[in-house]
Amino acid sequence: MKLDAHGLEFDLPAGWEGRITKREGIEPDGATTTPVLHAATFPLPEDRGDYGSKAVEAMGRDDVFVALLEFGEEAVNSALFAPGRLPRTLDPEGFRNDGMQRWIPGQAAYQKFFTQDDRAFVLYIVIGNYANRIELARKAEALVATIQVQPPDPRAKW
C-alpha cells in the first residue's frame, strides 16, 4: 500500500503500519506545523510522540520504528541540517544503544539530519534488539528505500 500526504510518500511493506500526519494549527512561536512520517512493524498507538514515545516502549525484539520529521524553513541548509539526501542504505554500526531519546534496554537508534529539495528533515529509526542490528537495519532500509520527498510547492500548505 502506498501512503502519500504533505509532500511525502512511501510504500508500506506487508506487516508494517504507517501514517503521515501533520499537527494542525499554529505553534506558539508563530511557525506552522510540519509533516511527520511514522512506520513500524508493530501496531502504532494513536497517541505517540514525534520520536516514537509511547510506541517504542511497545516494540518487540524483532521490531523496527521509523520516523521522518520535517523541520521549518529556518532549518534548511543550516549547520545541523546540511544539504544531503535521505539515506538509502543504513550502516548497522550507525545504530547506537546510547542514541535513544530515552534509553530502553536492548534497543538502539539511528539518526540522520539533512536538507533535501529545500526541506529539512531528521530520519530517526529505533530497532528492538541491538544484537540483531544487521537484520533489523535491512528491514528498516527496505521501508526507507521507498520514501519519496517532493520539493516544496509554494502554493501548497503541507
Cα 41 from Cα 143, distance rounded (Å) = 10
Q: Contact, 133 vs 92, CB < 8 A?
A: yes
Q: Residue 70 corresponds to which cell in the numbers above? A: 520535517
pLDDT in tens, 92-142: 999 998 877 778 899 999 999 999 999 999 999 999 999 999 999 999 999
Residue pLDDT, tens place only, 46-87: 999 999 999 999 999 999 999 999 998 899 999 999 999 999
Q: Considering the entire predicted model, what is its pTM?
A: 0.91
Using only C-alpha atoms, the chain has a radius of gyration, in whole angstroms, of 15
